[in-house]
Amino acid sequence: MWRGPRTLIWLLPPPFDAPPLRAYLMEKPLRIRRNPMALLPILTLPDPRLREISKAVEKVDGEIHRLLDDMLETMYDAPGVGLAAIQVGHAKRIVVIDIAKDDQPKAPLFLINPEITWVSEELGVYREGCLSVPEYFEEVQRPARVRFRHLDRDGVLREAEADGLLATVVQHELDHLEGGLFIDHLSRLKRERVVKKFTKAARLEARSSERETEDVDA
Ligand SMILES: [Zn+2]
């Protein structure tokens, strides 16, 4: 006897690979609640937020984990080797770094409330760039080795020493937490030139998006 479509639906077997709902909820509650990682927009020069001083993280909780994951994905996508939270508009003392080369396995570093505790007298030079100053590179001289302290992703206090590229990236990213940019290490002439160039480009872009808005409204 025909009992209507509802009964028919109940008679169908569940989709082949669907686990029983109850078991799935108990085993993987996080995967159900969590949204997928998101790419965050990166602030660029001359955005004034890049000059803000970031605040210490008080508690490493789910919200901080979410930000760390989103920052990491944003950095890999850019691509870059380091990203500070202020570069994506969060004035928190958080940095993600991964200096692994393309053919090496990923090796992300999560630095929460990082502090440099020692720098070498010996200096090193790298040609630096920054996701917030896109497509501009200049040589910067910094201490060749640093020791630094930070909370890791689990909120555990760690101390590490770095040299080479990692030493430079750590110093570059920690500058961001104080509202610093690598161009602050350049001569005044070079710095003013690049700030002017980016300010002009931002003005032109604002004007052209205003025009687009007018077109849409018309
Ligand atoms: Zn940077």
- Give the range of the structural domain holding residue 184, as residue numbers without chain letter: 37-213
Q: Which tokens hold the place of 108?
A: 């992300």
Query: Is residue 73 domain-resident?
Result: yes
Query: Is residue 160 domain-resident?
Result: yes
> What is the pLDDT confidence band of residue 216, given thresholds at 50, 70 and 90?
low
57-105 confidence digits (pLDDT tens): 999 999 999 999 999 999 999 999 999 999 999 999 999 999 999 899 9
Query: Is residue 29 domain-resident?
Result: no
Distance from the alpha carbon of residue 20 to the mean position of ligand 1, in angstroms: 47
Q: How many domains does the chain have?
A: 1
Reading phi first (left if > 0) and then psi (alpha if -120 to 50, else beta), residue 142 is in beta
Distance from the alpha carbon of residue 130 to the mean position of ligand 1, in angstroms: 4
Query: Is residue 22 domain-resident?
Result: no
Query: Is residue 23 domain-resident?
Result: no
* Residues with active-site annotation: 173
> What is the pLDDT confidence band of residue 21, given thresholds at 50, 70 and 90?
very low
Residue 137 has pLDDT above 70, yes or no: yes
Query: Is residue 12 domain-resident?
Result: no
Q: Which residues contact residue 32 at a Cβ distance below 8 angstroms, ignoring those fewer than 6 apart?
A: 24, 25
C-beta of residue 149 within 8 angstroms of C-beta of residue 115: yes
The CATH number linked to 192 is: 3.90.45.10
Mean pLDDT of 200-205: 93
Distance from the alpha carbon of residue 215 to the mean position of ligand 1, in angstroms: 36
Residue 179 has pLDDT above 70, yes or no: yes
Query: Is residue 92 domain-resident?
Result: yes
CA 38, 41, 43, 48 dihedral sign is: negative
Distance from the alpha carbon of residue 217 to the mean position of ligand 1, in angstroms: 37
Closest CA to 175 of 121, 122, 119: 119
Query: Is residue 15 domain-resident?
Result: no
